[in-house]
Copies of this chain bind each other. A is one copy, B any other.
Amino acid sequence: MIMLNCMNQFSRFLKYATRTTPLLTTRELNVFSKFKSEFKSRFKPRFKTALALSAALGLAACGQSTSTTSEPNGAQSQSSAQPQEKITLKLAHGWPKGFPVFGESVDDYAKLVSELSDGRIVIKVDSANKHKSAFGIFDFVKSGQYDIGQSASYYYGGKDPDTLFFSSMPFSMTQQEQAAWFYHGGGLELANEVYAKHNMEVMLGGNTGMQMGGWFRKEIKTMDDLDGLKMRIPGFAGKVMASVGAVPTNIPAGELYQSLERGTIDALEWVGPGLDLRMGFHKVAPYYYNGWHEPGTELMYYFNKDSMAKLPEWARSVLKNAARLTAYNMTTYSFSSNTENWQTISEQYPNVQVKRLPDEVIKALKAANDELVAKETARSEIAKRIIESRQAYLEKARAWTTIGEKLYLDTLEAQ
């Protein structure tokens, strides 16, 4: 009460003073206001004790005001736009609790936000074990049921087909190329344009790196080998495979190994060595094919616009930049997991053979993909803009990749 009375009196003085003269800047008024609200929220519960102790100790109270009522908690928020200092936000991600790489990364995010904000922002993370809806992140954040989400954009083509283009596309950009497109080629602005319609802002969420073309029980030598091939390959790439005669299916993760082992399916794609190793596919389908369908899949952080609008600028900056850093950290971690686990597979399972799809197969897949993409381009004005932006950036970025890293790798490989 002692301090609060001092502060309330000072606050009234400041309000009066600033109506008559610009004595303090708006920034300074905000500092004072934040100050007061943090003080209240942190110290209030103990003030009764403090006051009693103060009296017992015979200390002079500095507050001599006759007013014994303190301002209600909400009052100071009217005198400034600042919210309460301690911010608690709810986050939902689409993976099982502690899921390797993807889920671990979200736990890292919450920890990083807490560290950067000196404990002022608390993020409560709910995994799919809790909210029971692996593909519900879009709706959760759109509705404000959760303030933040992490998932993959291309899971939500059913909600809005324009969300399809912000994870990865067959025959498209690698992780480095796509990150440059997002941050310097207009990609993130386009993603935000799409998600703004759904009351969300977005930030990159971490990249898997090159996804392998998958595990096959038999070698693919000609187009005929694709005919009727039963393969677990969902989404857009599944449509591409269907166009060339394969039979794409989707099967729950828990049943994949058995399906492949028993021949219920002939092939499947999962991610890359980093996540594939623990699934055991290499034991029953020894042909590991080159990537083509997801050359660098980016996850995404979702932020409810209303939740963000209530926050002060520094808090928004912490949330966005922490997401950006977490995304990068996950990308590097994916690379490292792929490195370590490919070493394990190649050393411990000499039966595994890395294969390249025959040129005629690649050609057919690419033609089928181009046709499907052309349909998307015709669908809407924004789909056209996104696809053209991706295509233009791919061309120039690939030109650099080709004379830069690829030429280096080619040169060394020739030795």
CA distance A259 to B403 in the complex (A): 26
Give the distance to chain B from A188, nearest Cβ to Cβ, in Å.
11
| Number of chain A residues whose Cβ lies closer than 8 Å to a Cβ of chain B | 108
In the complex, the chain B residue whose C-beta lies closest to that of A66 is B60
Query: Which chain B residue lies CB-closest to A314?
Result: B118
Q: Residues of B contacting A397 with CB < 8 Å?
A: 335, 339
0 or 1 for each of A317-331: is its CB under 8 Å from B? (1 = yes): 110011011001100
- The segment out of A122-130, A153-161, A241-249, A290-298 that lies at the interface is A290-298
- B17 and A317 form a contact (CB under 8 A): no
Q: Out of B57, B209, B400, which one reaches A16, CB within 8 Å?
A: B57
CB of B16 within 8 A of CB of A314, answer no
Which of A134-142, A353-361, A382-390 makes up part of the contact surface? A353-361
CA distance A199 to B321 in the complex (A): 29
* Whole-angstrom distance between the Cβ of A330 and the nearest chain B Cβ: 11
A403 to B: closest C-beta gap in Å: 5
Interface-centre pick from A324, A405, A412 (highest chain B CB count, 10 A): A405
Which B-chain residue is minimally distant from A346 (CB atoms)?
Answer: B399
Identify which of B38, B50, B317, B400 contacts A273 (C-beta below 8 A): B400
| In the complex, chain B residues whose CB is within 8 Å of the CB of A60 | 9, 65
Neighbouring B residues of A212 by C-beta, 8 Å: 403-404
User: Which residues of A (212-226) have their CB < 8 Å from a CB of B?
Assistant: 212
Q: Is A87 an interface residue (CB 8 A)?
A: no
Given contacts A57-B16, A325-B325, A328-B325, contact A401 B408 (CB under 8 A): no
> In the complex the two chains form, what is the Cα distance from A6 to B7 in whole Å?
9
Whole-angstrom CA separation of A200 from B213 in the bound complex? 45
Quick one: which of A56-91 are within 8 Å of B by CB?
Answer: 57, 59-60, 62-65
**Shortest CB distance A77–B (Å):** 17
Do B399 and A342 touch (CB < 8 A)?
yes
The interface centre, meaning the residue of A32, A174, A401 with most chain B CB atoms within 10 A of its CB, is A401
- Chain B residue with the shortest CB-CB distance to A334: B180
Are A407 and B272 interface neighbours, CB within 8 A?
no
- In chain B, what residue has the closest Cβ to A65? B62
Does B290 lie within 8 Å of A411, measured CB to CB? yes
Known contacts: A17-B57, A46-B23. The answer to whether A342 contacts B396 by CB under 8 A is: yes
CA distance A174 to B317 in the complex (A): 31
Shortest CB-to-CB span from A249 to chain B, Å, is 24
Q: Spell out A's residues near B (CB within 8 Å).
A: 2-3, 5-7, 9-10, 12-13, 16-17, 21, 23-24, 28, 31-32, 35, 38-39, 42-43, 46, 49-50, 53-54, 57, 59-60, 62-65, 112, 115-119, 171, 174-177, 179-180, 183-185, 209-210, 212, 272-273, 288, 290-292, 295, 312-314, 317-318, 321-322, 324-325, 328-329, 332-333, 335-336, 338-340, 342-343, 346, 354, 356-357, 359, 362-363, 366, 393, 396-397, 399-415
Given A118-B314, A273-B400, A328-B328, 12 more A-B residue pairs with CB atoms under 8 Å apart are A16-B59, A17-B50, A17-B57, A24-B43, A115-B313, A176-B176, A180-B336, A321-B322, A325-B325, A338-B404, A342-B399, A356-B407
